[in-house]
Structure 1
Amino acid sequence: MISSLGRWWRNRLRPTTPLSQSTMETTPTESTAQPGEWVAYDEDLLERARTQWQFGDWESLASLQRDTLQHHPDRAKLALLAAAGLQQSGNSEQARQLVRLATQWGASKKLIAQVLIAGVHNTLGRAAAINGSQQRALNHFEKAVANVNTQGDTRLLIQARTRNELERLNIAIEPQVLSRVGQRFVSPLHYQVPHTTIQDTSKPVQR
């Protein structure tokens, strides 16, 4: 009788579905933290990753680990930035996995499209630079940053991305050429406002 009760109790405690590796992979959005448990995260991680993307620091982005991202409140954006780093580093399969993860974590289709298209422009810019088509390369690097960036001085960020990418390829660019890159993104506040004469309508116009 006692042994039968023991077997019945052990069967009640045994999980009905085995926790296989495939089961864990199909629910990546679930947190491993227990209810009510506070999990520490790096509050500056998103801003740092965004800066790394703007300047083309693909190695740092590619090194972001899933365990570091999954408890972060901005994990969807971070996963997408990490995917961009992997994409530019040639790890296409891992990049696709992180894009899927970003989707499951709530990244919008618009943001995903922007980041992926920006990555395509960056790759095309490298190819054009290698082929000696400097102007075409500059246009692609410009689009790679401008289509996504919404913070900071877009013109300076385009110049920084262009310089970093060309240096990575050991391709020189003249300073005066670099200074003109992204010029159309200069804020209107940087231009001198033309002087205009405003007529005082309170006084009659003398003829």
Structure 2
Amino acid sequence: MNILQINSSARSTGSESTRMNDKIVAGLLADNPGATVVRRDLASDPHPSIDEAALGALFTPADQRTPEQAARVALDDALIAQVQAADVIVIGAPMYNFGITAQLKTWFDAIARAGVTFRYTATGPEGLLKDKKVFVTLSRGGIHRGGASDSQMPHVQTFLGFLGLTDVTFVYSEGHGMGPEAVAKARAQADADIEAALA
């Protein structure tokens, strides 16, 4: 088993989504001791966002790219290769201002490539990243699950489904801005949900 762990919190320590990610990966390793883990922290090892130069490189045929363009595309290629090689993907997605972090959005932009991770057909788009299990950990300061303010989860679910990643388990830890008692309750519930998901 190949496990890909994606941490997208801006925090180097004390991140709840990263804590949940670590717990999921530890559980997977306990059941699959021979598994390999690739961890990528998008805050400490940021990926460049899409700009005009990046778009120019991506839309230039490979044999016509300048060395600079080839190097830029290679950065995205490396992320795509990690996703393609993974059997299980664990994504930390803390809520920042009702959405995913800029770091996670940049990762999404890098791994979505027509003809590689999805393609358009006569009947519509088809995701090419199939037969993979995905866990997404969602941490929030308030309570948003299932409400109108939770635009984050549908966005992540739609994006992953577009790439063919439809076996997705979401784990929530909410209320972290509502005091120590709420934090303790949220963590206990998240841990129980993780144990249930891995059972």
Query: With structure 1 as the length reference, what TM-score do the two structures score?
Result: 0.30
Higher share of residues assigned helix: 1
Q: Which has the higher strand share?
A: 2
Question: Normalised by the size of structure 2, how large is the TM-score?
Answer: 0.31
Structure with larger RCO (C-alpha < 8 A, sep 6+): 2
